[in-house]
Structure 1
Amino acid sequence: MINAIPAALLWIVTIWRARSALRRPERRSLWLAFAALALAMTVRPDQVASAVDEYLHVTDLSFLIKHVCGTVAAASVLTFVADMAETRTGIRASKLHKVVPVATVLLLGACFFATPQSHEADDLLTDYADHVTIVAYGVVWTAYLGTALFSATLLCFRWGRRPDSGLVGRGLLLVGTGTAVGLLYAAHRIAALIIRYVDPTLLGARADQTLSSGLLFLALLLILLGSTLPVWPRISARVRAHAQLVSLYPLWRTLTDAVPETRLDSPPARVTDAGDPRRTHDRLYRRTIEIRDAILTLADHAPPQLRDRAFDHAASLGFVGAHADVVAEACWLAAAREERLRGAASSGEPHPPASGGRDLATEIHVLTVLGTAFRSHATQDFLNAYHQETPV
């Protein structure tokens, strides 16, 4: 489970950022980091690793894949932070941060294939700790990982603490905290490697694995949160807009079914509409327009006598002020909708609705309140009384 959760989160972020990375080159390094980490965490479980090795017919190749992915991820995070620093200062980073990871990957491959491996290892660095090539392999990988994470941590804290950095700065501080935890992970791996080379029985395998997995999980979580923090306001706004879109669906569907000419497109089913994440803000804007157009059309079927009866009904239930106006509007709208569906002629005396917003945000709020009133018992009681008093 401790491997499945970060792997799933990393794949979600990787897929989510893919389109943006294709369109904006400056975001590709961070996307590559997430893709590499997602792949590394996917092959980390023993069952998956064994299946990969068996499929590719190379013993313990999954370990090389994980470590190469870790190297690529560390290099990509360092490139991302260095590019951000370059954007703010104009100082170009050294090309070494691109050359060194390539050399690291080549050395890892050379050490891995130079080691005779007679069996599938539970942990490559511990099961073959008596081979000097694997010791070199572990030192090369953890040394690069530690160096890259240390550099990224310094850069993150340096630029994240700037007073004008805003959410980007807070995100960098979280990323820097994550890379600092990753540095502890690298230090732990180096210490474990050396201890097991000196005395294989000195360090318990279960305690080593638990601590290693915990540090890795915490580092990934902090990096994930920090890198996505700057876009949380947009995500929050999109989620809020989608919730508003869903909440307005009943009122929109009920009113526009009576006035279908106000709809631009055929109405989807409620589940389909709620499950569609595309063009949320555009659809919400269009929905408010269509509801308001339907209300204006139905107002032609609500003469002053009907409006007065609706207001008296609201007042008799104890509603006052603006609340009474909204309940009354919901009542006469329900009755006007029934008249429209029956094919009754309009009154010829259109009136503006009793409520309305000054901008999109207040209009959404007003229509949400109206939708709640439209579905209330007060409106249903008024409609039942209207049916009894009005001949068909």
Structure 2
Amino acid sequence: MLSATADPGALGVGAQTLGTVCMWAAVLLRLPHTLGSRQQRELWLAGLAAAAANTLDLDSVGALIDRSFGSLHSVDLVRNICGLISAFALLELVHSLTTSSRRRALLVWLRVAACCVVAGLLAMEVLYGPHGRHLVQGGPAPSPPAPYWLLIIATHLAVNALALLVFLNLGRHCADRSLKAGLLLLAFGTAMAGVFWLNALAHLLGHTLAAAVQPFALALHVLLIAAALTVPTTYAARRTLSDVRDWWRIWPLWRDLVEACPQVLLAPRRSRLREVLWPVGPPRLLLYRQLVEIRDAILVLAPYATPELHACAWEFADTLDGSARAPGGRGRGRRAPDMAVARPAAVLAVVLKGARAARLSGAEPRHGTLPTAQIGADTLPDETAFLITVARIYRSAANPVHPHSPVSEEAPQ
């Protein structure tokens, strides 16, 4: 093998093995998502080739193949070709990130260059005739001779330097957090690959450096590339958990409203736990349906929101102090958002609680009642946050209308 793994310490070998396992996990995890994006396919191919190269670089894998087929020399060659494929796939990713239009000519030339480098590697392999394992160091001279390794090292260093500059530049100026994280991880991953190949070049030129650095550089390289591959999945999982958490917090409010207004349901009711464990759709869709049904329930309950109820709601909202703590009940001591959000949320919570109690008590809806307090948000995330505050205050607020108390007949002027 390369001198990188000629005599690594046990820790270095363990780190490289761990990195390789993580890379394979990331490659398999990202496979279903590579069909719709060219850039995702290029990154996935780079990760797949790098995972294959690092797998073949492991001593345990080499020993297993040697016992089974007695062909370690072929393993070395395939490993180096996989490394070059990974490098050129990364170069295609750089091309697609830096060109605004599809410049097919440049892409074709990149692929021609990749074929030429691989063909040159194979030609030198045949030209040099029988030789030992592929090593930069470990004997009196590198095997195969230096030109073979110079071609490999120069290709990797050129690609790594270009990719590092592009990924760093794009990552620093990227507004999207997910894309920014992926680009910076790619930048640091290519930097670690650069460290590996710079050390290999130093060995080729006769400078003795710490060989133990090599497996750690490879381990960091594959771990960072694996992390970059899983960034979209990680962010999607985080968003899913956030949606489930928000849905769970709003559920008590939704349950009380649809109990009073079952006609707003867009699908049959299911238990809270069953909806989480066996959802009938993506969490984002379930959350959106929940918000739609709450909006519809607000419209149904609007005729039950009397002026007295609104007055009671504003009186309750005025009792919130500057820290926006909901007085009384289970909400005591829990901070809500700022007062600009907490007061409208408190008004809506009390109005909904009173209107629901009036409807369930059999009171007649009134014409000319005051408009129900509006949801204080224009976007889905803001609306979700607002209704979470409403749900929290709803649980802590006292019922302002007794279910059997008469409702005033006097309409507002």
| TM-score interval, normalised by the smaller of the two chains | 0.5 to 0.7
Once the two structures are superposed, residues 113-133 of structure 1 have per-residue CA deviations (whole angstroms, 9 ceiling, x without a partner) of: 96678xxxxxx748x94497x
Residues 52, 286 of structure 1: alpha-carbon distance in 2 compared, 3 angstrom cutoff? farther
Match of 2:144 among 136, 149, 167: 136
Q: One-letter code of the match for 1:374?
A: Y
1:293 paired with 2:296, answer: yes
Task: Show the 5 A alignment for 1:175-190.
Answer: 175=186, 178-190=189-201
C-alpha contact (below 8 Å) 1:142/1:186 kept by paired residues: no
Q: One-letter code of the match for 1:372?
A: R
Q: Distance in 1 between matches of 2:120 and 2:263?
A: 66
Q: Distance in 1 between matches of 2:55 and 2:267?
A: 42
Counterpart residue number, 1:329: 348
Measured after TM superposition, the shift of residue 33 of structure 1 is: 0.5
Report SS of the residue matched to 1:367. Answer: helix
Q: Distance in 2 between matches of 1:250 and 1:106?
A: 68
Measured after TM superposition, the shift of residue 188 of structure 1 is: 1.5
1:371 paired with 2:387, answer: no
Measured after TM superposition, the shift of residue 304 of structure 1 is: 4.2
Match of 1:264 among 242, 263, 266: 266
Measured after TM superposition, the shift of residue 334 of structure 1 is: 3.4
User: Aligned residues, how many?
Assistant: 367
Measured after TM superposition, the shift of residue 147 of structure 1 is: 1.4
Once the two structures are superposed, residues 244-291 of structure 1 have per-residue CA deviations (whole angstroms, 9 ceiling, x without a partner) of: 445434433443344343232344644853897975554443332112
User: Is the helix fraction higher in 1 or 2?
Assistant: 1
Once the two structures are superposed, residues 48-90 of structure 1 have per-residue CA deviations (whole angstroms, 9 ceiling, x without a partner) of: 6656666x54565766665443232112112222344555694
Q: Distance in 1 between matches of 2:89 and 2:53?
A: 14
C-alpha contact (below 8 Å) 2:20/2:219 kept by paired residues: no
Q: Distance in 2 between matches of 1:37 and 1:216?
A: 10
Once the two structures are superposed, residues 85-140 of structure 1 have per-residue CA deviations (whole angstroms, 9 ceiling, x without a partner) of: 555694625344221353267469879x96678xxxxxx748x94497x8118974
Residues 28, 259 of structure 1: alpha-carbon distance in 2 compared, 3 angstrom cutoff? same
Q: Distance in 2 between matches of 1:271 and 1:143?
A: 60
Q: Distance in 2 between matches of 1:109 and 1:254?
A: 75
Once the two structures are superposed, residues 202-235 of structure 1 have per-residue CA deviations (whole angstroms, 9 ceiling, x without a partner) of: 87xxx523x1123224444565677888999999
Any gaps of 5 or more consecutive residues in structure 2? 1-13, 327-338, 407-413
Once the two structures are superposed, residues 290-329 of structure 1 have per-residue CA deviations (whole angstroms, 9 ceiling, x without a partner) of: 1211233344455444444454455456678864453243
Task: Show the 5 A alignment for 1:242-257.
Answer: 244-257=246-259
Counterpart residue number, 1:347: 365
Q: Distance in 2 between matches of 1:106 and 1:232?
A: 40
C-alpha contact (below 8 Å) 2:50/2:83 kept by paired residues: yes
Counterpart residue number, 1:81: 94
C-alpha contact (below 8 Å) 2:135/2:144 kept by paired residues: no
- The two structures have a TM-score, normalised by structure 1, of 0.67
Q: Distance in 1 between matches of 2:24 and 2:80?
A: 18
Q: Taking every aligned residue pair, what percent have the same amino acid on both sides?
A: 24
C-alpha contact (below 8 Å) 2:50/2:82 kept by paired residues: yes
Q: One-letter code of the match for 1:213?
A: P
Counterpart residue number, 2:156: 148
Residues 331, 52 of structure 1: alpha-carbon distance in 2 compared, 3 angstrom cutoff? farther
C-alpha contact (below 8 Å) 2:132/2:143 kept by paired residues: no
- The two structures have a TM-score, normalised by structure 2, of 0.64
C-alpha contact (below 8 Å) 2:244/2:276 kept by paired residues: no
Any gaps of 5 or more consecutive residues in structure 1? 118-123, 197-201
Q: Distance in 2 between matches of 1:280 and 1:246?
A: 11
C-alpha contact (below 8 Å) 2:344/2:376 kept by paired residues: no
